[in-house]
C-alpha cells in the first residue's frame, strides 16, 4: 500500500478519535464476567479502567511533544499499531496480570484524539479549526452511547473476548486507513528536542493557554461528576430502571451533539471566547437553577436531567473552541499543548469522579451532584473570563 501524501480527511480523524472512546467504555458491561473468568475480585478487574485512564493521561504528555518533533503521522501510526497488538494480547491473555499489562498498553490509542486535534490545527486558522473540531466532537459523541450497547451484545453472544477481538480488528483497520489517508500535517517540526524544549517556557508562561486549558478541564469535569453520581440519584430518588437511566444520559449526550453542531456551523465566523462564554453561561445556569429547585422541594427527574442537558449543550459550545484556543497560543507546539490539556482533563476528571463517588449518598445525591456540576461550570466560566481579560490587556494582532 502506498503511504499517504496528502492531509487526512475529516472522516479519518473522526474514526481515530471515536476509537479512543470505544476503547474505554465498550467492554464495561463485561467487567463482572471477566472477574469470574479470571477468578479475581471485581476491584482488580476494574483496574483495567482506572489504570488505563492513568496511563492515557501520562501518554498524552508524551505523544504531543513527540509529534511536534517527529510529525503527526509517524506517532499516530505507532500509537494505533501498539493498540492493535495490545488488543490481540488481551484476547490471548490467560492470566489477569497479562491481561492488565496489555490493557494498559491499549492506552496508546490516545494518540488518536490528541493528534487528530493537532492535525486540524496544523491546517486551519483558530476559528476554522474550532468549526472542524466541533464536527469531530459531534460525530464521536455517538461512541459513548453506542459502545456499551455493542459491548454488551457481543458479550451475550460470544463472551467478553469478542469485544477485544473487535478492538484488534478496528485497530488494524484504523492503522491501514491512517497509512492510506494521513499524510503529514506538521510542516514545521522542531529541528531537535533541545530546540523544542526552548519553546516550552513560552507555552507554560502563556496565560491564555492556562485559561483555555482550565476552562476545558472544568467543563468536562462537570460531566464526569454527573455520570458518577447519576446512577445513585436515579435509583434512590426516582426509582429509574437502568434502561431509563441510559436514556437520560443519552439525551444529555444529545445536548452535547447539538452544541457541537452549532459550533461547527458558526465557529468559523465567531470569536472563540464569545462561543465559549455563551456555553459557560448556559452550563452554569442549568445546574445552579436545578439545585435551587431541589432546595425548595421542587426537584424532579425532569429538573435533574434537564439541568444536566444544559451542561451537555454548554460543553458542546465550549470544548471545540477551547481546544482550538489551547493549540493556537503556540502553534509550533500544538501537539504538546493538546497533550497537556488532555492530561489535565483526565486528571481533573479522575479527581472529581473519586470525590463524587466518595461523597454522594442516597440522602444528598441530587444536591451534591448538581452542586459540584454548578461549581465546575462556574470555574470554567471564570477561566474564560480570565482569557477575555488577558485579551484586553495583552491584545494579539490575530486575536482569538
Which tens digit of pLDDT belongs to each residue from 84-140? 999 999 999 999 999 999 999 999 999 988 899 889 988 888 888 888 888 888 766
Instruction: Give the mean pLDDT of 236-243.
Output: 77
Distances (CA, A) of 334 to 71, 200, 330, 364: 11, 11, 6, 42
Per-residue burial over 376-394, b if 16 or more Cβ lie within 10 Å, else e, is bbbbbbebbbbbeebbeee
* Residue finishing a domain among 179, 210, 245: 179
Residue 369 and residue 252 share a domain: yes
Are residue 143 and residue 255 in the same domain, yes or no? no
Q: Are both 94 and 236 inside the same structural domain?
A: no
Please spell the DSSP secondary structure of 355-380, one letter per residue.
HHHHH--TTTHHHHHHHHHHHHHHHH
pLDDT in tens, 310-350: 999 999 999 889 998 998 888 888 888 888 888 898 888 88
152-208 pLDDT, tens per residue?
888 888 888 999 999 999 999 999 999 999 998 888 787 777 777 777 788 888 899
Q: Are residues 60 and 165 in the same domain?
A: yes
**Residue 398's pLDDT is what?**
45
Total domains, the chain:
2
pTM: 0.81
Check whether residue 32 and residue 146 sit in a common domain: yes
Q: Does a structural domain hold residue 190? A: no
Share of the chain above pLDDT 70, in %: 95
pLDDT band (50, 70, 90) for residue 243:
low
- Can you give the residue range of the structural domain that contains 170? 10-179
Residues 322 and 372 in one domain: yes
Q: What are the distances in angstroms from CA 306 to CA 258, 299, 379? A: 15, 11, 20
Residue 113 maps to which CATH number?
Answer: 1.20.1250.20
Q: Tell me: do 150 and 205 sit in the same domain.
A: no
Say if residue 80's pLDDT is above 90. Answer: yes
Residues 150 and 222 in one domain: no
Amino acid at each position: 500500500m502506498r503511504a499517504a501524501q496528502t492531509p487526512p480527511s475529516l472522516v479519518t480523524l473522526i474514526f481515530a478519535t471515536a476509537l479512543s472512546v470505544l476503547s474505554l467504555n465498550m467492554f464495561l458491561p463485561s467487567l463482572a464476567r471477566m472477574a469470574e473468568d479470571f477468578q479475581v475480585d471485581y476491584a482488580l478487574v476494574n483496574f483495567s479502567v482506572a489504570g488505563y485512564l492513568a496511563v492515557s493521561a501520562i501518554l498524552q504528555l508524551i505523544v504531543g511533544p513527540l509529534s511536534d518533533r517527529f510529525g503527526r503521522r509517524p506517532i499516530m501510526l505507532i500509537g494505533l499499531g501498539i493498540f492493535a497488538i495490545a488488543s490481540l494480547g488481551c484476547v490471548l491473555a490467560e492470566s489477569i496480570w497479562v491481561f492488565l499489562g496489555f490493557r494498559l498498553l491499549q492506552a496508546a490509542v490516545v494518540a488518536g484524539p490528541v493528534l487528530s486535534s493537532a492535525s486540524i490545527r496544523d491546517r486551519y486558522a483558530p476559528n476554522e479549526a474550532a468549526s472542524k473540531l466541533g464536527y469531530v466532537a459531534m460525530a464521536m459523541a455517538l461512541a459513548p452511547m453506542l459502545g456499551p450497547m455493542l459491548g454488551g451484545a457481543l458479550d451475550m453472544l460470544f463472551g467478553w473476548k469478542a469485544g477485544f477481538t473487535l478492538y484488534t480488528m478496528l485497530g488494524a483497520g484504523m492503522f491501514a486507513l491512517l497509512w492510506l489517508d494521513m499524510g503529514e500535517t506538521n510542516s514545521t517540526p522542531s529541528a531537535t528536542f533541545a530546540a523544542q524544549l526552548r519553546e516550552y517556557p513560552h507555552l507554560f508562561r502563556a496565560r491564555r493557554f492556562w485559561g483555555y486549558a482550565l476552562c476545558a478541564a472544568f467543563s468536562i469535569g462537570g460531566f464526569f461528576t454527573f455520570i458518577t453520581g447519576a446512577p445513585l440519584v436515579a435509583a434512590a430518588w426516582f426509582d429509574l430502571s437502568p434502561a431509563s437511566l441510559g436514556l437520560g444520559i443519552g439525551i444529555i449526550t444529545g445536548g452535547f451533539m447539538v452544541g457541537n453542531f452549532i459550533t461547527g456551523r458558526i465557529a468559523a465566523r465567531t470569536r472563540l471566547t464569545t462561543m465559549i462564554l455563551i456555553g459557560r453561561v448556559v452550563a452554569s445556569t442549568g445546574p445552579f437553577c436545578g439545585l435551587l429547585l431541589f432546595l425548595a422541594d421542587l426537584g424532579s427527574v425532569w429538573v435533574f436531567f434537564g439541568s444536566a442537558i444544559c451542561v451537555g449543550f454548554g460543553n458542546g459550545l465550549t470544548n471545540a473552541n477551547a481546544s482550538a484556543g489551547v493549540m493556537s497560543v503556540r502553534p509550533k507546539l500544538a501537539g504538546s499543548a493538546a497533550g497537556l490539556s488532555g492530561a489535565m482533563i483526565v486528571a481533573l476528571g479522575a479527581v472529581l469522579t473519586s470525590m463524587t463517588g466518595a461523597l454522594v449518598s442516597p440522602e444528598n445525591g441530587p444536591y451534591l451532584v448538581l452542586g459540584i456540576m454548578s461549581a465546575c461550570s462556574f470555574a470554567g466560566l471564570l477561566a474564560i473570563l480570565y482569557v477575555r481579560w488577558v485579551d484586553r490587556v495583552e491584545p494579539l494582532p490575530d486575536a482569538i
